[in-house]
A and B are shown apart, each in its own frame.
Chain A
């Protein structure tokens, strides 16, 4: 036989077999060291999954609410307390090209009580507003019970309550045709609205028709807040021209807000938290990686005899280093896979609890396993080199 034929080789299936000896003979130690990686990857996948699922919920919410709603009101800043929108503001705004529809509410100086026996001071902080039937659609609201004001009921002493207002008045159904004492008149409650996503002020209001307000409450109907729906692609430019259109004389006394901005701001805050948790997950992962490196170093020390035996049987240094490197990668890869399952499980459970769709980004799933494998390989590098550099005679003597 010539020298060139002297070559150690190992059957591919035996590569995996030898790489898992340590894991099979010391399963508890393997499980504990994989646990660190599992927790790190699990945390990261769960954070990404929860963030994605909540984001999808937010997008649904935005889609439902529409991002094309603008709220116009008189500025209430310092020195502008008495500012009002001009009478013609609503008409002027509705003439802006891309404006699709407008609606409004007008503050009525009246209080509402469950009965005429309640002391005047116990108003429950419920405000009374005059409005028109289009308001419900404009704010994307829906009814918990009953109906909203229509052309007929707008002219009668009828009232629709916001969710909070109804709660404070103790009215949760229309059974028995409840009435409330509003501005010194009895008003029939015809409907109660669901909680509105972005209009807490309306939740705390009692809404009456503008015609009825003028007739029964001596109200001068002047818009306090105008709700504007514009073509979605022109929302920002419409917002820019509204102040000068609504109040050409004092455009700076007009405030324009886009309520969905608040949701997006909340989402941005969520992103910051997500980054923070991802960072914590990364730290857990790093600690897990150090744990694996530590276990592998100990394993190499304990298994010097085995290394010596393998060298005697014909293993090359490369075979030895590969065995320990693969063991470390398999250890971390198993932890990573378990971590991904854990993360997906946590996401699914939380999403189910919150009624969201479960969404785990594929990049988190595959990235999680890949990250674990990389960490396992890096963690195993030094122990593997150390094992392969061990002299066979020293290893056998140990």
Chain B
């Protein structure tokens, strides 16, 4: 059996405010390679904290997080950065595209911290943009793109490095219904090609359309359900 892409063991995160906030409590979760799942829950259920912990942007207060076989609790900040550049791609609700850059260079930035040259990165970025259906928008700067196109560029940036894991944080949060459906379809398509994707969302409809749904409530996993293949 291949090793899981992501494994959370008894993970908790407590913010030392008064009173303390237990954002995530005793979460166990395994994401196998090639999965497409939703982490869904209402506002305040700990989704964002979960995403940050899964993406190694934040450390748990207790428990173990293993990404692509690397247990992260003892890693230095620099090593975590290296882990992210090699294994994790992010898609954000607000896209976070650099406004002065073309679509191609925004995607090429997905490989910026791998040490690859700009030419090589652009060549890979071109392929990624074609994959998300934006082969005709290479030179458009971020401000010239529609919302859906912007999110596709952000998705291309997340997959350009062939990462083990893509984490999407409310990827359709800023989009209208039709565009949202297109984005979800794109995620299905990418997953079909082998990309492991975790979508963190509050949107039940989107969550229901994915093969596996992990429901969070008050920082705990309420249910973890995998649909039978149709």
* Chain A residues packing against B (C-beta within 8 Å): 1, 3, 5-11, 13-14, 17-18, 21, 24-25, 305-306, 308-319, 391-393, 396
Contacts and interface: CB of A to CB of B under 8 A. Distances in A.
A11 B116 contact: yes
Given A1-B69, A313-B84, A306 B113 contact: no
Main DSSP-derived SS at the A contact region:
helix
A17 B112 CA distance: 11
Given A314-B85, A318-B78, A11 B57 contact: no
B16 interface: no
A309 B69 contact: no
Contact of A313 (B78, B99, B109): B109
B23 to A, nearest CB: 11
A8 B78 CA distance: 7
Chain B interface category by residue count: 20 to 34
A94 to B, nearest CB: 83
Interface string B85-103: 1101010101010111000
B115 A9 contact: yes
Contacts of A392: 52, 57-58
Interface in B97-153: 98-100, 109-110, 112-118
B230 to A, nearest CB: 34
B82 A6 contact: yes
Contacts of A314: 81-82, 84-86, 112-114
Given A21-B98, A392-B57, A312 B84 contact: yes
Contact of B79 (A3, A21, A305, A312): A3
B29 interface: no
Contacts of B70: 1, 3, 6
Given A8-B82, A314-B84, A3 B92 contact: no
7 contacts: A5-B82, A6-B86, A8-B82, A8-B85, A9-B114, A309-B96, A311-B84
Closest 7 interchain pairs by CB? A314-B85, A6-B82, A9-B115, A314-B113, A25-B100, A8-B113, A392-B57
A1 B57 contact: no
B31 interface: no
A10 B68 CA distance: 22
B93 to A, nearest CB: 10
Contacts of B100: 21, 24-25
A187 B20 CA distance: 112
Contacts of A10: 112-113, 115
Nearest to B105: A17
Nearest to A319: B113
A313 B57 contact: no
Given A9-B115, A14-B118, A17-B118, A313 B110 contact: yes
A316 B112 CA distance: 12
B222 interface: no
Residue from A18, A314, A393 whose CB has the most chain B CB atoms within 10 Å: A314
A8 B112 CA distance: 9
Given A10-B115, A305-B96, A312 B82 contact: no
B75 interface: yes
Contact of B112 (A18, A25, A393, A396): A18
Contacts of A317: 77-78, 81
B171 interface: no
